[in-house]
Amino acid sequence: MTQPETQPETRPQTQPHAAHPLSFEDFDQRFADRHLLHSVLEKWAHERPGHPAMISADTGQLTSWAGLERITRGLAMQLVEMGYQKGDCFASALPLSTEHILVEYACFRIGVIFAPLDLRLSAAEMIRSLGLLRPRGFAFPGADSRQVPGAGDFRRFGQMVETEAPFVEHRLCFLDEDFKRGYDSAAVLEDSDSADGPLTMRRLLARAARLASGKRAPAKRIQEAFERATAGVDENDGALVIFTTGSTGSPKPALLSHRNIACQSMCISQAFFRGDSGMRTLVNLPPSHVGCQTELLMGTFFGGGTAIILAAFEPLASLRAIQEYKVQVLGQIPAQFQFEWRLKDYDSFDLSSLEVVAYGGQQVSGAFLEKMAAMAPWAGTGLGLTETAGFCTYQLQPREHAKACLNSLGVDMPVYAASIRGEMREDGLAAAELPEGEIGHICFHGPQTFLGYLNDPEATARTISRDGFLYTGDLGFKDSEGVHLSGRAKWVIKPSGYQVFPADVESHFCALAEDVAACAAVGVGHALISEAIVAFVEIKPGAKLSSSMLERHARELASYMRPRHYVLLEPGEMPLNRVAKPDYLRLRQMAEREIAELREKGKWDRV
């Protein structure tokens, strides 16, 4: 096993810290004080109290490390007073605001599992997710949810949760004005002294702020209960749930522990963020995404840096934030870069502060890498998965060698080693490791492997072998240059970095049982969102169906799950394989031909 590394020296800003081969000894000795997510806050509040931990680019609100530690402590006491205990779940459907981050770190402090949900889910999908989580508390926007474009309609959502998710004890509503005012504004603080009424999220934060400011002393029993709760949190306890698409195609709640996330944060902070040098990172991915939570936000926090947060991705706002706050690290999915580059005044922004730009989630072209590398001296990528708590391989190249990122997904770390293996054995053990260069299942073993899918032991057993090897669902090989992706073992479509399983789209349209005989969905390359959905719909004899009718029906799906193009097939025209199932290889070829014609007419690769 690799010997422990010595603490790396801080390098000049123009040269980020390279990916050291971090070992178990590094994790358990050098970084032993950061194995709990909230212990990171305590460390930097002590060592860098006045340094900004995060800045909201939407409101300009700055939260120092000392302030972040204080307010999350006060908020955690409020949750204890409300009866929350270790193992309870608190869900949210909020934009990436300062308040959102305060709530989740308060949960971490007392062992409450935090579960951020995608704001763009339909009401039915949101209720389904709550049913899987069964949280005691749920925070969501009010009727004026303008914080995130494409967000669901929350006008009657509170009543729906009360009726269809009665296990939710605390339904806490945020309004746009609450995000704009900030948790420590005078108007918010006054709420804690107002007349009795329902405990809104605004009032909860106000009480926490008063505790943090010393204007209110906690009751002795609450203080003691809080101290017992924090002392009872272990690094192997569940901390965060991120929904992901599993091998069966239904979204699954993946449970990540403090230890899982801390190990990933250690690796990514050393690989991309120059260790403990305190770099500034733009965080503009959805908070329901592992790329936002564990990679960018928690990776930045781990090294004592500053997270510049945006409530939602918007190309112009992202470029303005880079320029105004001198962002040094920019990590995005390819579609985000494409939208930024399309802005007519893109070249007018000063992006000279950027030191590292990185992408993940999808493969890109040489032309894409050349454009991305022009943004910063260093370019990076890697393989990132929800089940591995984020990045698990790392590739960082100087600008002039950025196209090397096309050759591999980068190298793994000794602390979380990759191996190529055969299909999992029938007895649940991992198959033998394959020789170098041979294609097989990409697997990982070590502390980043998630705890499992919440309340789904069968799906967990299909993903984690009995001897602890995580089967990623990807096929590839490994050589001296690192891990190479050869193809996906699952038919997953990835528009704008989201994972969409074809069966979820197909079942939605097959619900039109009187008109639809069969449906099959495939992904086709798209210049802006990387991959878009094409739906093949076979019409039943005598039925009258049009693309406009299908588009109306698709409005019930989350926006990223909606097909960009429909191909209507006459009865019996659906291509089938030898077991009478849709032939996805042929369908993809058909879709490519369809899209080639649309592209020639200028009707593809558009917003």
Q: Is residue 74 part of a domain?
A: yes
Tell me how far apart the alpha carbons of residues 253 and 452 are, in angstroms, rounded to a whole number.
8
- Show Cβ contacts of residue 571 under 8 Å, excluding neighbours closer than 6 positions: 517, 538, 539, 540, 541
Which stretch of 282-286, 463-467, 517-521 has the lowest confidence by average pLDDT?
517-521
Q: What is residue 244's predicted lDDT score, i.e. its pLDDT?
A: 83
Q: What is residue 214's predicted lDDT score, i.e. its pLDDT?
A: 67
- 161-168 average pLDDT score: 91
Tell me how far apart the alpha carbons of residues 180 and 459 are, in angstroms, rounded to a whole number.
41
CB 27 within 8 A of CB 447: yes
Tell me how far apart the alpha carbons of residues 137 and 398 are, in angstroms, rounded to a whole number.
46
- Show Cβ contacts of residue 289 under 8 Å, excluding neighbours closer than 6 positions: 242, 497
Please choose, from the candidates 557, 564, 562, the residue with its C-alpha nearest in 3D space to the C-alpha of residue 121: 557
Q: Is residue 553 part of a domain?
A: yes
Tell me how far apart the alpha carbons of residues 453 and 501 are, in angstroms, rounded to a whole number.
17
CATH of the domain at 341: 3.40.50.12780
- 210-226 average pLDDT score: 79
Kindly report, residue by residue over 290-300, the tens digit of the pLDDT.
999 999 999 99
Which stretch of 60-64, 438-442, 493-497 has the lowest confidence by average pLDDT?
493-497
Partnered with residue 241 across adjacent β-strands are 255
Q: Which of the four pLDDT bands, split at 50, 70 and 90, describes residue 420?
A: very high
Per the structure block, which two tokens stand in for 230? 């924090």
- At residue 194, does pLDDT exceed 50? no
| Eight-state DSSP code of residue 586 | H
Q: Which amino acid is at 529?
A: I
| Kind of pairing between the strands at 356-359 and 378-381 | parallel
Q: Which of the four pLDDT bands, split at 50, 70 and 90, describes residue 202?
A: confident
Residue 49's CB: how many other CB atoms inside 10 A?
A: 13
Q: What is residue 195's predicted lDDT score, i.e. its pLDDT?
A: 40
Q: Is residue 462 part of a domain?
A: no
Domain count, the chain: 2
Phi (first) and psi of residue 476, to 5 degrees: 180, -165
Partnered with residue 55 across adjacent β-strands are 62, 308
Q: What is residue 7's predicted lDDT score, i.e. its pLDDT?
A: 33
The DSSP secondary structure of 308-348, one letter per residue, reads EE-SS--HHHHHHHHHHHT--EEEE-HHHHHHHHTSTTGGG
CB 505 within 8 A of CB 563: yes
Q: What is residue 182's predicted lDDT score, i.e. its pLDDT?
A: 55
Q: Which of 373, 403, 430 is the last residue of a domain?
A: 373
Kindly report, residue by residue over 72-86, the tens digit of the pLDDT.
999 999 999 999 999
47: left (phi over 0), alpha (psi -120 to 50) or beta: alpha
Whether residue 367 is found in the same domain as residue 505: no
Q: Is residue 423 part of a domain?
A: no
Q: Which of 321, 349, 373 is the last residue of a domain?
A: 373
Residue in the block written with tokens 């490519």: 592
Q: What is residue 171's predicted lDDT score, i.e. its pLDDT?
A: 87
Q: What is residue 180's predicted lDDT score, i.e. its pLDDT?
A: 56
Tell me how far apart the alpha carbons of residues 570 and 575 are, in angstroms, rounded to a whole number.
11
Q: Is residue 419 part of a domain?
A: no
Q: What is residue 13's predicted lDDT score, i.e. its pLDDT?
A: 37
Mean pLDDT, the chain, integer? 87
CATH of the domain at 539: 3.30.300.30
Q: What is residue 282's predicted lDDT score, i.e. its pLDDT?
A: 98
Q: Which of the four pLDDT bands, split at 50, 70 and 90, describes residue 9?
A: very low
Q: Is residue 88 part of a domain?
A: yes
Tell me how far apart the alpha carbons of residues 453 and 468 are, in angstroms, rounded to a whole number.
15
Q: Is residue 344 part of a domain?
A: yes
Q: What is residue 15's predicted lDDT score, i.e. its pLDDT?
A: 42
Q: Which of the four pLDDT bands, split at 50, 70 and 90, describes residue 89?
A: very high
**Host domain of residue 499:** 495-600
Q: What is residue 346's predicted lDDT score, i.e. its pLDDT?
A: 97
Calculate ∠ Cα 480-481-484, nearest 5°: 110
Q: Which of 373, 397, 425 is the last residue of a domain?
A: 373
Q: Is residue 520 part of a domain?
A: yes
Q: What is the dihedral of CA 569, 573, 574, 580, to 10 degrees?
A: 160
Per the structure block, which two tokens stand in for 132? 């899987």
- 137-149 average pLDDT score: 67
Tell me how far apart the alpha carbons of residues 522 and 588 are, in angstroms, rounded to a whole number.
6
